[in-house]
Amino acid sequence: MELDLVYVGGRHLEVGAALEAVKFVWREHADLDLPWHYFAKQTGHLETAVGNLQMMRCPLTWSELAVVAPETVSRRKRAELGWDHPADELGFEEAADAACRLADHHGIGLRLPTEFEWEHVARGREDRRYPWGDEFDPSCANLVEAGLGSTEPVGSRTEGASEAGVLDLAGNVDEWTATVYEPLPGAHWTVPRHETWAADPHVTRGGSFDHHRDLALTRRRHGLYRPWVGAGVRLVVDAP
């Protein structure tokens, strides 16, 4: 099993947005009838340094997971969709375990990305609204708007590539990060300090085939909420 890793140089990253900017984005998605607090989590401001890293070009597939964790794959009926589809419906502990096993298998420090490492790769130095650009295009991501209704083989939508050439950052399968959710500094007062309704406190990013276009936004903070029972895995490794 070979790894397809993409190098992404680090930078000083500014996270969050002003209240009016986030309200504008919320109004842009009024047709989805989503509550304000979904978007309010983007309010506030945080400055953080993101180091050089290499990220998997595509999410982990069922065939790749089967090499290191066959018992996990055997418990998942969705693997029947195809071995080249992204592994999904994995709990956080299963995702973290897969990262450890793959790190041992390849002999390098593979791990789950932090939330803001993921955002850095998705936004790129061009600070894109979506991984592929600033305008939403339903053909670029396997979301509800694409109408497929299930996962598809990873890397199927090359037109949705990020600035660095990373694929499937939006849609197909929601992706775990290593970050436990908390509000950004200076967040709007409506932002919850803890999402008690979440199935897991860790942040996920990108959305899946059964999520709408709002989760394709590179700054959109998300989580694993019922009835979703799990997410997918994309790993990174620190680079010189």
Q: Per-domain residue ranges for the chain?
A: 5-238
pLDDT for residue 157 is more than 80 = yes
Burial of 208 from C-beta contacts in 10 A (0-12 / 13-18 / 19+)? buried
How sure is the predictor about 184, in pLDDT bands with cuts at 50, 70 and 90?
Answer: very high
Q: Are 25 and 218 in contact (CB under 8 A)?
A: no
Predicted confidence at residue 204, as pLDDT, reads 97
Report the topology of domain 5-238. paralog of FGE (formylglycine-generating enzyme) (3.90.1580)
pTM for this prediction? 0.95
For the beta carbon of residue 27, count every other beta carbon within 10 angstroms.
Answer: 9
| DSSP state string for the chain | ----EEEE--EEEEE-B-HHHHHHHHHHTGGGT--HHHHHTTBS-EEEEE--EEEESSPPBHHHHHHH-HHHHHT-GGGGG-TTSBP-SB-HHHHHHHHHHHHHHHTS--BPPPHHHHHHHHHTTTT-SBTTBSS--GGGSBSGGGT--S---TT--GGG--TT----SSBSS-EEEEEEP-PPTT--TTS-SS-TTEEESEEEES--TTS-GGGGSTT----EETT---BB---EEE--
pLDDT of 229 reads 75
For the stretch 94-112, pLDDT in tens is 999 999 999 999 999 999 9
